[in-house]
């Protein structure tokens, strides 16, 4: 049986009106240092998001969420942050901030397969 590896994850949230503190979970980001794994799964239910904000803001929010994925991949599109190592990119993405796209507190766990764990967490916390 494969060994278990420590991983960390955070829920990605959209907070369209920061002052109202209402949010919608839209994704999960998971980092496993031992397996060099950093990935996010983002799913935006546009109709549900429109309960929090107007339809015109949804495209801008989706563009900001796309940046999460690009940073995880270390894509050249992600700018200087994308050139950092995986741990630094994860810490940057999960840093506390008061913006429309935020991450929850970081939670630890153990897994044998980080991708399967990411999919499971995404299903439980977002869908």
Does residue 43 carry a pLDDT above 90? yes
- Give the pLDDT of residue 80: 93
pTM: 0.91
In Å, what is the CA distance from 49 to each residue of 11, 39, 86, 93, 120? 16, 23, 30, 21, 22
Each residue of 6-23: pLDDT tens digit? Answer: 999 999 999 988 888 889
Distance CA 60, CA 76 (A): 20
Distance CA 81, CA 84 (A): 6
* CA-based radius of gyration for the chain: 15
Each residue of 52-84: pLDDT tens digit? Answer: 888 888 888 988 899 888 999 999 988 999 999
- Give the pLDDT of residue 104: 95
């Amino acid at each position: 049986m494969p060994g278990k590896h420590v991983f960390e994850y955070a829920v990605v949230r959209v907070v369209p009106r920061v002052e109202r503190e209402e949010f919608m979970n839209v994704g999960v980001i998971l980092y496993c240092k031992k397996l060099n794994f950093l990935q996010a799964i983002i799913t935006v239910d546009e109709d549900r998001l429109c309960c929090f904000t107007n339809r015109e803001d949804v495209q801008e929010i989706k563009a900001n969420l796309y940046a999460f994925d690009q940073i995880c991949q270390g894509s050249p599109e992600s700018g200087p942050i994308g050139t950092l190592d995986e741990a630094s990119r994860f810490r940057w993405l999960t840093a506390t901030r008061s913006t429309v796209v935020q991450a929850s507190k970081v939670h630890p766990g153990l897994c044998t397969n980080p991708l399967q764990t990411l999919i499971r967490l995404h299903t439980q916390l977002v869908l």
